[in-house]
């Protein structure tokens, strides 16, 4: 079964070796997922990763992925390259060992939720849930039993992700329900077919999935293939991005009117991609 690639995961790896990123691989394989929040309202995914890079030799705490309403950024390899260890749960805490037979730093992916009044809580939560579901699918984990909150592992010190989710009108218990539901919703039979669907009014959409690589900084546009449409995400060069199809009658730019669209109906100009 294929998994619906709703969003782009942007690799922006921390320098290694450093205190935050040792470069050591997750040797036993990924066994579970730890849900975190940043504990720092208004901080974005990119802002957190930039801070981690600046302080990479000052502190050892780290995580694999940061999620906000605009981006999913992977700063320690997890889904975009062979997974490496991150230091996101204290070693002396033994709840993870008792639950999963492994320490979280050695065998779990840590995902951080960004929140605050400058962040669209609904979109950030959708991306967060999908990211965790995608990890479960990638590593063959049961989404109903393989996701645990940081606070559950270390209740005397931590309140995440419940504290961050509460600021977004949600709860940890809801997250545990929503991840399996998202996992099921994103499963689709392998293979695919090509179809032409006329959208009136609007461009003619050719529905055929694939992956392209971004050659230059690129904006994803909401709802229509035009530079006037709202930007939903900024994608960095080198990122591999899945598409659900394309149109050839979008807004022409440099003589090129072909735009790709993703599973969420966001558009991006083909002239910024390479096959």
Are residues 209 and 112 both part of a single domain?
A: no
Task: Return the structure tokens found at 202.
Answer: 């609007």
One domain, residues 129 and 217: no
For residues 227 and 179, state if they share a domain: no
Residue 198's pLDDT is 34
Domains in the chain: how many in total?
Answer: 2
Which of the listed residues 188, 208, 224 is the one where a domain comes to its end? 188
Q: pLDDT at position 36, please?
A: 98
Domain C-terminal end among 170, 188, 206: 188
Do residues 208 and 169 both lie within one domain?
Answer: no
Domain CATH code at residue 64: 3.40.80.10
Q: What is the dihedral of CA 61, 163, 143, 63, to 10 degrees?
A: -10
User: What's the chain's average pLDDT?
Assistant: 91
User: Pick from 115, 110, 103, 108: which is nearest to 42 by CA?
Assistant: 115
pTM of the model: 0.75
Q: Are residues 40 and 171 in the same domain?
A: yes
Selection from 126, 128, 143, 186 nearest residue 3 by Cα: 186
Which segment of 41-45, 68-72, 221-225 scores lowest on mean pLDDT?
221-225
Same domain? For 23 and 65 the reply is: yes
Among 143, 166, 188, the domain boundary falls at 188
Taking 90 as the threshold, does the pLDDT of residue 112 lie above it? yes
pLDDT in tens, 147-186: 999 999 999 999 999 999 999 999 999 999 999 999 999 9
pLDDT band at 188 (very low <50, low <70, confident <90, very high): low
- The owner of tokens 């730019």 is 253
CA distance 106 to 91: 9
CA atoms of 220 and 269, how far apart (whole Å):
8
The residue range of the domain holding 262 is 195-274
* CATH number, position 233: 2.30.30.40
User: Tens of pLDDT along 135-150?
Assistant: 999 999 999 999 999 9
Residues 85 and 31 in one domain: yes
Q: Are residues 101 and 83 in the same domain?
A: yes
Same-domain status, 149 and 201: no
Residues 78 and 106 in one domain: yes
Q: Do both 229 and 264 map to the same domain? A: yes
pLDDT in tens, 247-275: 988 888 888 889 999 998 899 999 999 87
Flag whether pLDDT at 190 surpasses 50: no
Q: At what angle do helices 172-185 and 121-138 cross, to 10 degrees?
A: 60
What is the full DSSP assignment across 21-90?
----B-TT---EEEEEE-SSTT--HHHHHHHHHHTTTT-----SEEE-SS-EEESS-SSSSS-B----S-
């Amino acid at each position: 079964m294929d998994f619906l690639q709703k969003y782009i995961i942007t690799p922006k790896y921390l320098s290694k070796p450093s205190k935050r990123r040792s470069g050591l691989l997750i040797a036993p394989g990924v066994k579970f997922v730890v849900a975190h929040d940043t504990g720092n309202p208004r901080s974005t995914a990119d802002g957190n990763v930039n801070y981690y890079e600046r302080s990479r030799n000052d502190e050892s705490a780290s995580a694999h992925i940061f999620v906000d309403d605009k981006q999913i950024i992977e700063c320690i390899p997890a889904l975009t390259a062979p997974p490496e260890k991150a230091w996101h749960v204290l070693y002396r805490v033994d709840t993870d060992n008792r639950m999963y037979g492994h320490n979280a730093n050695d065998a779990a992916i840590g995902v951080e939720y960004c929140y605050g009044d400058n962040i669209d809580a609904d979109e950030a939560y959708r991306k967060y849930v999908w990211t965790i579901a995608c990890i479960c699918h990638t590593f063959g984990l049961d989404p109903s039993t393989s996701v645990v909150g940081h606070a559950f592992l270390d209740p005397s010190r931590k309140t995440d992700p419940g504290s961050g989710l509460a600021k977004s009108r949600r709860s940890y218990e809801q997250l545990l329900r929503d991840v399996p539901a998202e996992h099921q919703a994103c499963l689709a039979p392998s293979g695919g077919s090509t179809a032409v669907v006329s959208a009136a009014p609007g461009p003619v959409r050719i529905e055929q999935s694939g992956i392209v690589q971004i050659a230059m900084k690129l904006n994803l546009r909401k709802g229509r293939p035009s530079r006037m449409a709202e930007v939903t995400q900024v994608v960095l060069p080198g990122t591999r991005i899945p598409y659900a199809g394309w149109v050839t009658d979008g807004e022409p730019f440099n003589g090129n009117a072909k735009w790709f669209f993703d599973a969420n109906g966001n558009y991006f100009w083909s002239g910024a991609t390479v096959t």
